[in-house]
Amino acid sequence: MAGIDSPKDPLVPTAWLAERLGDPDVRVVDATLPLVGQPGKGRDFYDAGHIPGAVFFDVNAIADPDTDLPHMLPSPAAFARDVGALGLGREHTIVVYDAHGLYSAARVWWSLRAMGYRDVFVLDGGLRKWRAEGRPVDTAGPTPSPVAVSLAFEPDLVADIADIEQAIGDGSAQIVDARSSARFTGAAPEPRATLRSGHMPGAKNLPFTDLVAGDGTLKPADELRAAFAHVDLGRPIITSCGSGVTAAVLALALARLGRFDVAVYDGSWTEWGGRPDTDVVTGA
């Protein structure tokens, strides 16, 4: 983790990145997705202004084309091809951000790590904090030089429906759901109308918004530890959410607490709540 002051922290501050803009060993990635219910596309945010030199990682395009589930991880070969086209080599230190502060950047941080990248970090506070500090933004996209990327995959960081069924059946892992409490309990409908409301049997709820400070930065370790008080940090953990985006925020927070081995359920509630053969419970 070349140049990172605290190798145990998966985030870097804006000042750290500002000092390294233009460093050939550092790559900056804009991973913005619209918030749930927000109009437009991530590219719209990028075109309106991004950190100079940042490439745009389209979460919905660098995805498995053979499923109707949103932004599922593609094959390692397809992923290597697409990130190679963005100039993201395994030898680079990669800093990912989004326009909201902390939202979809964590998804791309996790995706890169699941595909074997090591030096990947999230910009703490994202473009929101960067702009608030008066730092430069650009509207012209760079032309990245493609690189060859070797194939790699870290299966322990990716959970599928069979892993969830096993965790429910034998308690081998804790399931932590990042959706709002109202969606978790079933009191509020899902934004995807075809999905049932509620949660997986035995799942614990921790809305990802509880982990993010008012300025869009991730809360400090002591506050994160308090938020995860109902989770045994010494046991296996699988995070879930609506479609696998904010589940990665939980994984990022757990990495700040030293748990870099947390798996994200890629299909999340879109898969589980959209099937007729899965158990769904409601209430607290």
Catalytic residue positions?
241
Q: How far apart are CA 129 and CA 258, in angstroms?
A: 25
Query: Cα 102 to chain center, whole Å?
Result: 9
Go through the chain and tell me how many residues it has: 284
The amino acid at residue 87 is G
The structure tokens 């930065």 sit at 217
How distant, in Å, are the alpha carbons of 39, 171, 250 from that of 281? Answer: 31, 17, 22
Burial status of residue 258 (CB atoms within 10 A of its CB: 0-12, 13-18, 19 or more): exposed
User: Is residue 121 within a helix (H) or strand (E), and if so which, with residue range?
Assistant: strand 120-123
